Amino acid sequence: MTRPTLLVAMALIAASCGSTQISDDPTTTAQTAPFVDEPSSTTTGDPTAEEEQRDPGEIQRPPPVEVSGRGISLSLEASTACWGNGCYHGRPPVNPADIGDPDEIIVEFPEEGWEFIATVTPVGEECGRSQTEPLEPVDATSHRLVPIGLAGVYDVTLFGRGPGGDLFVSFRWTTPTNGTMPVPAATASILADHDGQVDSYGIEVPVWNLAETPESATGQVTVTSSEGNTHTFDLTREDLGCSEGSIYFTAPIDEGLTAAGLGNVPFTYELTLELDGATYVGTGVWPNEVDPECAPCVPLTFAPPLPALAAGRGAEGVEAVQIDDVWVFQHDPVGWDDALHGGSAEIKDGCLYVDGAIVVWHVDEIDEVGEIIANLKAGQHREVLIGGGGISLDEGVSPEDITATIIEHCPTSAVWFGAPDSS
Protein backbone atom coordinates (compact mmCIF):
# COMPACT_ATOMS: atom_id res chain seq x y z
CA MET A 1 0.00 0.00 0.00
CA THR A 2 1.47 3.36 -1.01
CA ARG A 3 1.48 6.29 1.38
CA PRO A 4 -1.48 8.23 -0.13
CA THR A 5 -3.68 5.12 0.18
CA LEU A 6 -2.62 4.62 3.80
CA LEU A 7 -3.41 8.24 4.61
CA VAL A 8 -6.86 8.10 3.07
CA ALA A 9 -7.56 4.87 4.95
CA MET A 10 -6.55 6.58 8.19
CA ALA A 11 -8.94 9.43 7.42
CA LEU A 12 -11.81 7.00 6.94
CA ILE A 13 -11.01 5.28 10.24
CA ALA A 14 -11.00 8.63 12.02
CA ALA A 15 -14.38 9.56 10.52
CA SER A 16 -15.99 6.24 11.41
CA CYS A 17 -14.72 6.34 14.98
CA GLY A 18 -15.99 9.88 15.50
CA SER A 19 -12.73 10.82 17.22
CA THR A 20 -9.97 13.21 16.34
CA GLN A 21 -6.95 11.62 14.71
CA ILE A 22 -3.75 13.40 13.65
CA SER A 23 -1.87 12.79 10.46
CA ASP A 24 -0.49 14.77 7.56
CA ASP A 25 -3.59 13.45 5.76
CA PRO A 26 -4.05 14.91 2.27
CA THR A 27 -7.81 14.80 2.82
CA THR A 28 -7.52 17.34 5.63
CA THR A 29 -4.63 19.66 4.92
CA ALA A 30 -1.59 20.36 2.84
CA GLN A 31 1.38 18.21 3.80
CA THR A 32 2.98 20.54 6.34
CA ALA A 33 4.24 17.96 8.82
CA PRO A 34 5.90 14.94 7.23
CA PHE A 35 7.03 13.52 10.56
CA VAL A 36 3.59 12.19 11.51
CA ASP A 37 3.53 8.99 9.52
CA GLU A 38 5.48 6.70 11.83
CA PRO A 39 3.59 3.61 13.03
CA SER A 40 4.16 4.48 16.70
CA SER A 41 2.56 7.90 16.19
CA THR A 42 -0.85 6.95 14.88
CA THR A 43 -3.81 4.88 15.92
CA THR A 44 -4.74 2.91 12.82
CA GLY A 45 -6.52 -0.05 14.39
CA ASP A 46 -8.97 -0.59 17.22
CA PRO A 47 -7.76 1.53 20.18
CA THR A 48 -9.74 -0.59 22.62
CA ALA A 49 -8.04 -3.79 21.49
CA GLU A 50 -4.62 -2.16 21.70
CA GLU A 51 -5.33 -0.94 25.23
CA GLU A 52 -6.26 -4.49 26.25
CA GLN A 53 -2.90 -5.73 24.96
CA ARG A 54 -0.95 -3.31 27.13
CA ASP A 55 -2.14 -1.50 30.23
CA PRO A 56 -0.76 2.09 30.17
CA GLY A 57 -0.22 1.77 33.91
CA GLU A 58 2.56 -0.72 33.22
CA ILE A 59 4.70 1.70 31.23
CA GLN A 60 6.06 5.17 31.73
CA ARG A 61 3.97 8.20 30.78
CA PRO A 62 5.33 11.41 29.28
CA PRO A 63 5.04 14.65 31.25
CA PRO A 64 1.78 16.56 30.69
CA VAL A 65 1.54 19.17 27.97
CA GLU A 66 0.67 22.60 29.38
CA VAL A 67 -1.51 24.86 27.22
CA SER A 68 -2.37 28.41 28.28
CA GLY A 69 -4.09 31.49 26.97
CA ARG A 70 -5.77 34.60 28.40
CA GLY A 71 -5.16 33.58 31.99
CA ILE A 72 -6.38 29.99 31.62
CA SER A 73 -3.98 27.03 31.86
CA LEU A 74 -4.68 23.36 31.19
CA SER A 75 -2.46 20.41 32.03
CA LEU A 76 -3.11 17.71 29.43
CA GLU A 77 -2.22 14.03 29.79
CA ALA A 78 -1.45 12.15 26.59
CA SER A 79 -4.17 9.80 25.37
CA THR A 80 -1.68 8.06 23.07
CA ALA A 81 2.10 8.10 23.43
CA CYS A 82 5.41 6.36 23.00
CA TRP A 83 7.66 7.20 25.92
CA GLY A 84 10.34 5.55 28.01
CA ASN A 85 9.84 1.80 28.01
CA GLY A 86 6.93 1.47 25.58
CA CYS A 87 3.86 2.78 23.80
CA TYR A 88 0.15 2.94 24.63
CA HIS A 89 -2.87 3.87 22.52
CA GLY A 90 -6.16 5.37 23.73
CA ARG A 91 -9.09 7.44 22.57
CA PRO A 92 -9.12 11.23 22.91
CA PRO A 93 -11.79 12.54 25.32
CA VAL A 94 -15.25 13.06 23.86
CA ASN A 95 -15.54 16.38 25.70
CA PRO A 96 -11.99 17.64 26.15
CA ALA A 97 -10.99 20.40 28.56
CA ASP A 98 -12.08 23.84 27.32
CA ILE A 99 -9.58 26.69 27.23
CA GLY A 100 -12.11 29.34 26.18
CA ASP A 101 -11.45 31.88 23.42
CA PRO A 102 -7.92 33.30 23.72
CA ASP A 103 -6.38 34.95 20.65
CA GLU A 104 -3.46 32.53 20.80
CA ILE A 105 -2.28 29.59 22.89
CA ILE A 106 1.16 28.79 24.27
CA VAL A 107 2.01 25.08 24.32
CA GLU A 108 4.74 23.99 26.74
CA PHE A 109 6.47 20.62 27.07
CA PRO A 110 9.52 20.19 29.32
CA GLU A 111 11.74 18.52 26.72
CA GLU A 112 13.95 20.25 24.18
CA GLY A 113 14.00 19.41 20.49
CA TRP A 114 10.28 18.69 20.17
CA GLU A 115 7.98 19.74 17.31
CA PHE A 116 4.20 20.10 17.50
CA ILE A 117 1.38 20.24 15.00
CA ALA A 118 -2.32 20.91 15.64
CA THR A 119 -5.39 19.49 13.92
CA VAL A 120 -8.66 21.37 14.47
CA THR A 121 -12.04 19.67 14.00
CA PRO A 122 -15.28 21.69 14.31
CA VAL A 123 -17.44 20.69 17.28
CA GLY A 124 -20.92 19.41 16.50
CA GLU A 125 -20.36 18.94 12.75
CA GLU A 126 -20.55 15.30 11.73
CA CYS A 127 -18.56 15.88 8.54
CA GLY A 128 -16.87 19.17 9.34
CA ARG A 129 -13.63 20.24 7.71
CA SER A 130 -10.46 19.38 9.64
CA GLN A 131 -7.23 21.28 9.10
CA THR A 132 -3.68 20.73 10.31
CA GLU A 133 -0.91 23.29 10.77
CA PRO A 134 2.52 23.28 12.47
CA LEU A 135 3.10 25.30 15.65
CA GLU A 136 5.64 28.10 15.75
CA PRO A 137 8.51 27.55 18.22
CA VAL A 138 8.81 30.24 20.90
CA ASP A 139 11.83 28.85 22.71
CA ALA A 140 13.41 25.45 23.43
CA THR A 141 10.35 24.05 25.25
CA SER A 142 7.35 26.15 24.15
CA HIS A 143 5.36 26.74 20.95
CA ARG A 144 2.68 29.17 19.79
CA LEU A 145 -0.69 28.08 18.36
CA VAL A 146 -2.72 30.68 16.48
CA PRO A 147 -6.22 30.27 14.98
CA ILE A 148 -6.58 27.83 12.10
CA GLY A 149 -9.32 28.11 9.47
CA LEU A 150 -12.61 29.91 10.01
CA ALA A 151 -13.42 31.27 13.46
CA GLY A 152 -15.46 28.74 15.45
CA VAL A 153 -15.50 26.12 18.20
CA TYR A 154 -12.95 23.36 17.63
CA ASP A 155 -11.58 20.25 19.24
CA VAL A 156 -7.83 20.58 18.92
CA THR A 157 -5.53 17.57 18.82
CA LEU A 158 -1.84 18.28 19.32
CA PHE A 159 0.75 15.83 18.07
CA GLY A 160 4.23 16.27 19.45
CA ARG A 161 7.40 14.41 18.56
CA GLY A 162 11.00 14.71 19.65
CA PRO A 163 13.84 13.00 21.50
CA GLY A 164 12.34 10.27 23.67
CA GLY A 165 9.05 9.64 21.88
CA ASP A 166 5.80 11.18 20.66
CA LEU A 167 2.34 11.91 22.04
CA PHE A 168 -1.21 13.13 21.39
CA VAL A 169 -3.27 15.46 23.61
CA SER A 170 -6.64 17.16 23.03
CA PHE A 171 -8.52 20.25 24.20
CA ARG A 172 -11.36 22.54 23.03
CA TRP A 173 -10.82 26.07 21.75
CA THR A 174 -13.20 28.78 20.52
CA THR A 175 -11.12 30.69 17.98
CA PRO A 176 -12.20 34.38 18.03
CA THR A 177 -10.87 35.20 14.56
CA ASN A 178 -10.16 33.47 11.28
CA GLY A 179 -6.69 32.05 10.87
CA THR A 180 -4.60 30.18 8.32
CA MET A 181 -6.89 28.99 5.56
CA PRO A 182 -6.54 25.60 3.83
CA VAL A 183 -4.71 25.68 0.49
CA PRO A 184 -6.10 23.40 -2.23
CA ALA A 185 -3.65 20.81 -3.51
CA ALA A 186 -3.41 17.58 -5.47
CA THR A 187 -0.82 14.92 -6.22
CA ALA A 188 -0.56 12.17 -8.81
CA SER A 189 1.02 8.77 -8.13
CA ILE A 190 1.34 6.96 -11.47
CA LEU A 191 4.93 5.88 -12.20
CA ALA A 192 7.58 4.55 -9.81
CA ASP A 193 11.27 3.70 -9.79
CA HIS A 194 11.76 -0.07 -9.38
CA ASP A 195 15.49 -0.79 -9.08
CA GLY A 196 16.27 1.81 -11.70
CA GLN A 197 13.47 0.77 -14.05
CA VAL A 198 10.31 2.77 -14.77
CA ASP A 199 7.36 0.88 -13.26
CA SER A 200 3.94 1.48 -11.73
CA TYR A 201 2.53 0.30 -8.41
CA GLY A 202 -0.97 1.67 -9.05
CA ILE A 203 -2.61 5.03 -9.72
CA GLU A 204 -3.86 7.39 -7.03
CA VAL A 205 -4.84 11.06 -7.38
CA PRO A 206 -6.01 12.74 -4.14
CA VAL A 207 -7.31 16.32 -4.23
CA TRP A 208 -7.87 18.15 -0.93
CA ASN A 209 -8.65 21.49 0.71
CA LEU A 210 -11.19 22.52 -1.93
CA ALA A 211 -13.68 25.25 -1.05
CA GLU A 212 -16.34 22.53 -0.88
CA THR A 213 -16.79 18.93 -1.89
CA PRO A 214 -17.98 18.96 -5.52
CA GLU A 215 -21.16 17.07 -6.35
CA SER A 216 -19.77 16.22 -9.77
CA ALA A 217 -16.09 15.42 -10.32
CA THR A 218 -14.34 13.67 -13.18
CA GLY A 219 -10.66 13.33 -13.99
CA GLN A 220 -8.52 12.43 -16.98
CA VAL A 221 -4.74 12.02 -17.07
CA THR A 222 -2.29 12.25 -19.97
CA VAL A 223 1.25 10.93 -19.40
CA THR A 224 3.92 12.09 -21.87
CA SER A 225 7.43 10.61 -22.11
CA SER A 226 10.57 12.62 -22.93
CA GLU A 227 10.25 11.43 -26.55
CA GLY A 228 6.73 12.85 -26.81
CA ASN A 229 4.83 9.55 -26.64
CA THR A 230 1.53 9.88 -24.77
CA HIS A 231 -1.04 7.75 -22.97
CA THR A 232 -4.42 9.15 -21.84
CA PHE A 233 -6.86 7.45 -19.45
CA ASP A 234 -9.89 8.28 -17.31
CA LEU A 235 -9.92 8.24 -13.52
CA THR A 236 -12.55 6.73 -11.22
CA ARG A 237 -13.78 8.77 -8.26
CA GLU A 238 -13.77 6.83 -5.00
CA ASP A 239 -16.12 7.41 -2.05
CA LEU A 240 -14.31 9.19 0.79
CA GLY A 241 -17.34 9.43 3.09
CA CYS A 242 -16.91 12.31 5.54
CA SER A 243 -14.08 14.31 4.04
CA GLU A 244 -15.12 17.92 3.43
CA GLY A 245 -13.36 19.56 0.50
CA SER A 246 -11.66 16.37 -0.70
CA ILE A 247 -11.99 13.96 -3.62
CA TYR A 248 -9.95 10.88 -4.48
CA PHE A 249 -9.39 9.16 -7.83
CA THR A 250 -7.89 5.83 -8.89
CA ALA A 251 -7.34 3.92 -12.13
CA PRO A 252 -6.37 0.32 -12.98
CA ILE A 253 -2.68 -0.48 -12.63
CA ASP A 254 -2.62 -1.50 -16.32
CA GLU A 255 -2.92 2.20 -17.21
CA GLY A 256 0.22 2.90 -15.19
CA LEU A 257 2.11 0.00 -16.74
CA THR A 258 1.19 1.23 -20.21
CA ALA A 259 2.47 4.70 -19.30
CA ALA A 260 5.70 3.17 -17.98
CA GLY A 261 6.36 1.66 -21.40
CA LEU A 262 6.08 4.97 -23.30
CA GLY A 263 9.79 5.74 -23.23
CA ASN A 264 12.34 7.48 -21.05
CA VAL A 265 12.29 9.99 -18.20
CA PRO A 266 11.24 12.64 -17.51
CA PHE A 267 7.49 12.06 -17.85
CA THR A 268 4.97 14.90 -17.76
CA TYR A 269 1.62 14.40 -16.03
CA GLU A 270 -1.38 16.46 -17.13
CA LEU A 271 -4.53 16.09 -15.03
CA THR A 272 -7.79 17.58 -16.32
CA LEU A 273 -10.45 17.94 -13.62
CA GLU A 274 -14.11 18.80 -14.19
CA LEU A 275 -15.54 20.00 -10.88
CA ASP A 276 -19.23 20.95 -10.95
CA GLY A 277 -18.85 22.06 -14.56
CA ALA A 278 -15.60 24.04 -14.15
CA THR A 279 -12.33 22.84 -15.72
CA TYR A 280 -8.95 22.83 -13.95
CA VAL A 281 -5.70 21.54 -15.46
CA GLY A 282 -2.82 20.43 -13.26
CA THR A 283 0.68 19.49 -14.40
CA GLY A 284 3.78 17.93 -12.85
CA VAL A 285 6.95 16.08 -13.87
CA TRP A 286 8.07 12.62 -12.72
CA PRO A 287 10.61 11.91 -11.31
CA ASN A 288 11.97 15.49 -11.21
CA GLU A 289 9.21 16.83 -8.95
CA VAL A 290 8.52 13.84 -6.71
CA ASP A 291 7.66 14.74 -3.12
CA PRO A 292 9.88 12.47 -0.97
CA GLU A 293 7.28 12.49 1.80
CA CYS A 294 4.76 10.66 -0.39
CA ALA A 295 6.97 9.20 -3.13
CA PRO A 296 6.30 8.40 -5.90
CA CYS A 297 3.66 11.14 -5.79
CA VAL A 298 4.12 14.36 -7.79
CA PRO A 299 2.47 17.62 -6.59
CA LEU A 300 0.46 19.25 -9.37
CA THR A 301 0.30 22.93 -10.32
CA PHE A 302 -3.11 24.10 -11.58
CA ALA A 303 -4.30 26.72 -14.03
CA PRO A 304 -6.71 28.15 -13.12
CA PRO A 305 -6.07 27.57 -9.40
CA LEU A 306 -8.32 25.09 -7.64
CA PRO A 307 -11.26 26.70 -5.77
CA ALA A 308 -10.37 27.62 -2.17
CA LEU A 309 -12.16 28.99 0.87
CA ALA A 310 -11.93 32.78 0.83
CA ALA A 311 -8.64 33.64 2.55
CA GLY A 312 -9.18 35.09 5.99
CA ARG A 313 -12.96 35.24 5.64
CA GLY A 314 -16.08 33.13 5.83
CA ALA A 315 -17.11 31.15 2.80
CA GLU A 316 -19.50 33.96 1.82
CA GLY A 317 -17.11 36.82 2.53
CA VAL A 318 -18.32 37.50 6.08
CA GLU A 319 -15.86 37.41 8.96
CA ALA A 320 -16.90 37.10 12.62
CA VAL A 321 -14.75 38.98 15.14
CA GLN A 322 -15.06 39.87 18.81
CA ILE A 323 -14.59 43.39 20.12
CA ASP A 324 -14.56 43.67 23.90
CA ASP A 325 -16.32 40.25 24.10
CA VAL A 326 -19.08 41.35 21.70
CA TRP A 327 -19.56 39.51 18.40
CA VAL A 328 -19.61 41.72 15.31
CA PHE A 329 -19.25 40.94 11.62
CA GLN A 330 -17.27 42.55 8.82
CA HIS A 331 -16.74 42.26 5.08
CA ASP A 332 -14.90 43.99 2.24
CA PRO A 333 -17.24 43.84 -0.77
CA VAL A 334 -16.35 44.94 -4.28
CA GLY A 335 -19.65 46.84 -4.57
CA TRP A 336 -22.58 47.77 -2.34
CA ASP A 337 -26.10 49.16 -2.28
CA ASP A 338 -26.80 52.81 -1.44
CA ALA A 339 -29.82 52.39 0.82
CA LEU A 340 -29.81 53.45 4.49
CA HIS A 341 -30.53 51.57 7.71
CA GLY A 342 -30.70 53.26 11.08
CA GLY A 343 -31.85 52.89 14.64
CA SER A 344 -30.71 52.23 18.17
CA ALA A 345 -27.64 50.11 18.75
CA GLU A 346 -27.79 47.50 21.51
CA ILE A 347 -25.75 44.63 22.89
CA LYS A 348 -27.83 41.50 23.41
CA ASP A 349 -26.52 38.06 24.35
CA GLY A 350 -23.00 39.10 23.41
CA CYS A 351 -23.96 40.39 19.94
CA LEU A 352 -24.26 43.92 18.53
CA TYR A 353 -27.61 44.75 16.89
CA VAL A 354 -28.86 47.92 15.19
CA ASP A 355 -32.65 48.30 15.22
CA GLY A 356 -32.93 44.54 15.78
CA ALA A 357 -30.73 43.58 12.83
CA ILE A 358 -27.22 42.19 12.68
CA VAL A 359 -24.92 44.48 10.73
CA VAL A 360 -22.07 43.19 8.60
CA TRP A 361 -19.85 46.25 8.86
CA HIS A 362 -17.49 47.36 6.15
CA VAL A 363 -13.91 46.67 7.27
CA ASP A 364 -13.17 50.42 7.13
CA GLU A 365 -15.81 51.04 9.83
CA ILE A 366 -14.60 48.56 12.47
CA ASP A 367 -12.88 51.26 14.55
CA GLU A 368 -16.22 53.10 14.74
CA VAL A 369 -17.89 49.86 15.84
CA GLY A 370 -15.44 49.62 18.72
CA GLU A 371 -16.49 53.11 19.83
CA ILE A 372 -20.17 52.17 19.63
CA ILE A 373 -19.58 49.13 21.85
CA ALA A 374 -17.59 51.21 24.35
CA ASN A 375 -20.41 53.79 24.50
CA LEU A 376 -23.06 51.14 25.08
CA LYS A 377 -21.05 49.45 27.81
CA ALA A 378 -20.66 52.86 29.48
CA GLY A 379 -24.46 53.18 29.59
CA GLN A 380 -24.74 55.68 26.72
CA HIS A 381 -27.43 55.57 24.02
CA ARG A 382 -26.27 55.36 20.41
CA GLU A 383 -28.27 55.97 17.27
CA VAL A 384 -26.58 54.60 14.16
CA LEU A 385 -27.13 55.24 10.44
CA ILE A 386 -25.48 52.82 7.99
CA GLY A 387 -25.33 52.81 4.21
CA GLY A 388 -25.65 49.60 2.23
CA GLY A 389 -28.41 47.05 1.77
CA GLY A 390 -30.06 44.24 3.70
CA ILE A 391 -32.10 41.05 3.75
CA SER A 392 -34.90 40.00 6.08
CA LEU A 393 -37.00 36.92 6.72
CA ASP A 394 -40.03 39.25 6.89
CA GLU A 395 -39.38 40.15 3.26
CA GLY A 396 -39.43 36.54 2.11
CA VAL A 397 -35.74 35.68 2.40
CA SER A 398 -35.06 32.02 3.23
CA PRO A 399 -33.22 31.29 6.51
CA GLU A 400 -30.55 29.51 4.41
CA ASP A 401 -29.75 32.89 2.81
CA ILE A 402 -28.36 34.17 6.13
CA THR A 403 -24.76 33.01 6.23
CA ALA A 404 -23.91 30.37 8.82
CA THR A 405 -20.98 32.54 9.94
CA ILE A 406 -23.58 34.88 11.47
CA ILE A 407 -26.13 32.35 12.71
CA GLU A 408 -23.59 30.29 14.64
CA HIS A 409 -22.83 33.34 16.81
CA CYS A 410 -25.89 35.61 16.76
CA PRO A 411 -29.53 34.64 16.05
CA THR A 412 -31.25 37.12 13.73
CA SER A 413 -34.03 37.45 11.18
CA ALA A 414 -32.44 40.43 9.41
CA VAL A 415 -28.94 41.28 8.19
CA TRP A 416 -27.67 44.63 6.94
CA PHE A 417 -24.56 44.64 4.74
CA GLY A 418 -22.75 47.90 5.37
CA ALA A 419 -20.99 50.16 2.89
CA PRO A 420 -17.85 52.23 3.61
CA ASP A 421 -18.03 55.76 5.01
CA SER A 422 -21.22 54.97 6.95
CA SER A 423 -22.12 57.04 10.01
Residues 156, 237 within the same domain? no
Residues 210, 271 within the same domain? yes
pLDDT tens per residue, range 124-168 = 888 888 999 999 999 999 999 999 988 889 999 999 999 999 999
| 17 pLDDT more than 50 | no
pLDDT tens per residue, range 70-105 = 999 999 999 999 999 899 999 999 999 999 999 999
Mean pLDDT throughout 201-213?
A: 94
Q: Which of 121, 151, 175 is the C-terminal boundary of a domain?
A: 175
What pLDDT, on a 0 to 100 scale, did the predictor assign at position 389? 81
Query: 48 in a domain, yes or no?
Result: yes
Query: 180 in a domain, yes or no?
Result: no
How many domains, in total, are found in the chain? 3
User: pTM for the whole thing?
Assistant: 0.61
Query: 235 in a domain, yes or no?
Result: yes
Residues 123, 200 within the same domain? no
What pLDDT, on a 0 to 100 scale, did the predictor assign at position 385? 92
| 378 pLDDT more than 80 | yes
Q: Mean pLDDT of all residues in the chain?
A: 84
| 15 pLDDT more than 50 | no
The fraction of the chain above a pLDDT of 90, given in percent, is 62
Q: Higher pLDDT residue, 400 or 220?
A: 220
| 340 pLDDT more than 90 | no
What pLDDT, on a 0 to 100 scale, did the predictor assign at position 398? 64
Mean pLDDT throughout 283-287?
A: 98
Q: Higher pLDDT residue, 309 or 278?
A: 278
Residues 166, 190 within the same domain? no
Q: Which of 175, 199, 232 is the C-terminal boundary of a domain?
A: 175
Instruction: Find the domain containing 336 and state its range.
Output: 319-418
Confidence of residue 338 (pLDDT cuts 50, 70, 90): low
Query: 423 in a domain, yes or no?
Result: no
Judge contact between 376 and 401, C-beta under 8 A. Answer: no
Query: 106 in a domain, yes or no?
Result: yes
pLDDT tens per residue, range 240-277 = 888 889 999 999 999 999 999 999 999 999 999 999 99
Residues 171, 54 within the same domain? yes
pLDDT tens per residue, range 386-406 = 988 888 888 766 676 677 789
What pLDDT, on a 0 to 100 scale, did the predictor assign at position 2? 34
Residues 258, 361 within the same domain? no
Query: What CATH number corresponds to the domain at position 264?
Result: 2.60.40
| 384 pLDDT more than 60 | yes
| 39 pLDDT more than 50 | no
What pLDDT, on a 0 to 100 scale, did the predictor assign at position 24? 38
Chain-centroid distance of CA 357 in Å reads: 31
Query: 113 in a domain, yes or no?
Result: yes
